[in-house]
Chains A and B, each alone.
Chain A
Amino acid sequence: MASLEEIKDYLFHKVESYAGKKQVKVPHLTQEVIEHFGEAACSKKDVKEALKELIDEEKLVYGYFGGTTIELPHVEGSANA
């Protein structure tokens, strides 16, 4: 079994690797994480829990661009910053 921390780490690094290249969606991420650990070691529910913690800790944020995405926190292009 993969631990919650292991799943969180992998999930975070996946999103990090997509930053600036692809706006990644939850179903896609979930599939990738499960494939990495194998279905026996990591369930959909585990990924969901890991994502919830990363979001609650504000290490990752939700985005909405015609469908929900998972992103690293950043200042977006449209913000009048």
Chain B
Amino acid sequence: MSDTPMIDQLETGPWPSFIKDIKRMAAKNAMCKDLLGLLEMSYKDKKTHWKHGGIVGVRGYGGGIIGRYSDSPEKFPNVSHFHTVRVNQPSAWFYNTGALRYLCDLWEKHGSGLTNLHGSTGDFIMLGTTTDHLEDIFTDLSEHGWDLGGSGSDVRTPSCCNGMARCEFACYDTMNLCYDLTNEYQDELHRPAFPYKFKFKMSGCPNDCVASIARSDCSIIGTWRDDIQQDNAAITEYAKGGKVDIANDVVAKCPTGCMSWDGSKLSIDNKNCNRCMHCINVMPKALRPGKDKGAMILLGAKAPIVQGALLSSVLVPFIKMEPPYEEFKDLIRRIWEFWDEHGENRERIGEMIVRIGKGNFVEEVGLEPTPAMIKEPRSNPYIFYEEYFDEE
């Protein structure tokens, strides 16, 4: 009879089994053996057996380590302490096998041998070690050119889509910007000093493969200002083979009605296109983003706690995104200064903007209000006029 009859049932079936993987590791690592026991207990009791460790870390850094203790140290002593190490991943999660093998060897020596590829924010997650290993792990990592990621009230590890490395839609170099910002903001990443966390995510086009508009305080999404690049021969090819029903699958699905198809020619009224990407997604060989490329900056997405979930909303409709990205960094500096001054404890930037009003925020960070920032103007008459006339 197995000690873990419930979780054993997750070893079968076509989807890769994390239980099989933990068992494989348990053959040579006592932590994994106890983790299986603790997890089986959770499956039986229908509750977690973990506690949060708040002051675990490496010297000098406030981010990168998440403390975990189990509530059953006597039953499962090997996972009594089971901390997480967040290692800052390379841009867009590309690896060479030498780099991955190094991380594996390090983690075999110092931890459970279990990882998350990758954590929700993007880091290479090493799952489960004890406090006495942390300094050694960090020293070894830094000697080999790696660093820890963020946690707490800091710049969280930025992440990005694969951009120009393997996508024709990329409107700016997401991987370069991600690397550049991560290095520019090392101090802000490792030494938490903000009212709360701040996440950057970078997507190369409005398809937003890293969900930046839902998951980051600052979403940087690629876009273009000129006309969609159109290859009429390729359009004909799509139409001829019956591969794409251009009238129904492309034109009828265009949200702005800016396209027409007369059976042989596709016309796009580019001035009315809202860059939704649908037609480009359907016919990537025939249509491509324009040549005047850059990015849109949106601010404020977050999960529900405390004031409810938010999506990011437009702050800068278009900005050129080329190294050294000075105009962008200057904007970020102004935004942080304002947040630092006015943000309340544990208030994300999106919540602060709602609290003080987006119009006020826009003015405070030195931007001009534009209709691109809103879905619609206010419908209530409660305007706080800042200027009015006095009788002379």
A contacts B: CB pair < 8 Å:
yes
Binding site for B on A (CB under 8 A): 25-28, 30, 48, 51-52, 55-56, 58, 61-69, 71, 73-74, 76, 78-80
Kindly list chain A residues whose C-beta atoms are within 8 Å of the C-beta of B154.
Answer: 68
Kindly list chain B residues whose C-beta atoms are within 8 Å of the C-beta of A62.
Answer: 55, 57, 61-63, 152, 191-192
How far is A61 from B192 in the complex, measured between Cα atoms in Å? 11
Which listed residue, A58, A76, A78, touches B59 by the CB 8 Å rule? Answer: A58
Q: Is the interface of A mostly helix, strand, loop or mixed?
A: mixed
Residue B211 at the chain A interface, CB threshold 8 Å: no
Q: Are B193 and A67 in contact (CB under 8 A)?
A: no
Residue B60 at the chain A interface, CB threshold 8 Å: yes
Q: Are A78 and B51 in contact (CB under 8 A)?
A: yes
Q: What total count of A-B pairs have CB within 8 Å? A: 84
Q: Are B59 and A56 in contact (CB under 8 A)?
A: yes
A74 → B minimal CB distance (Å): 7
Those 10 A-B pairs whose CB atoms lie nearest each other, nearest first: A62-B62, A68-B152, A68-B192, A68-B153, A78-B51, A80-B73, A26-B193, A63-B55, A64-B152, A80-B80
Binding site for A on B (CB under 8 A): 51-55, 57, 59-63, 66-67, 69-70, 73, 80-81, 151-154, 191-196, 340, 343, 345-346
Q: Using A27-B195, A61-B57 as known contacts, say yes or no to A67 and B51 having CB atoms under 8 A apart.
A: no
Kindly list chain A residues whose C-beta atoms are within 8 Å of the C-beta of B345.
Answer: 25, 27-28, 67
Kindly list chain B residues whose C-beta atoms are within 8 Å of the C-beta of A64.
Answer: 54-55, 62, 66-67, 151-152
Kindly list chain B residues whose C-beta atoms are within 8 Å of the C-beta of A30.
Answer: 193
Across the two chains, which residue of chain A brings its CB closest to B192?
A68
Kindly list chain B residues whose C-beta atoms are within 8 Å of the C-beta of A58.
Answer: 59
How far is A68 from B151 in the complex, measured between Cα atoms in Å? 9
Across the two chains, which residue of chain A brings its CB closest to B52?
A78
Kindly list chain B residues whose C-beta atoms are within 8 Å of the C-beta of A56.
Answer: 59-60
A75 → B minimal CB distance (Å): 9
How far is A30 from B345 in the complex, measured between Cα atoms in Å? 13
Q: Are A78 and B191 in contact (CB under 8 A)?
A: no
Q: Are B153 and A55 in contact (CB under 8 A)?
A: no
Q: Are A79 and B69 in contact (CB under 8 A)?
A: yes
Which listed residue, A27, A48, A52, A61, touches B55 by the CB 8 Å rule? Answer: A61
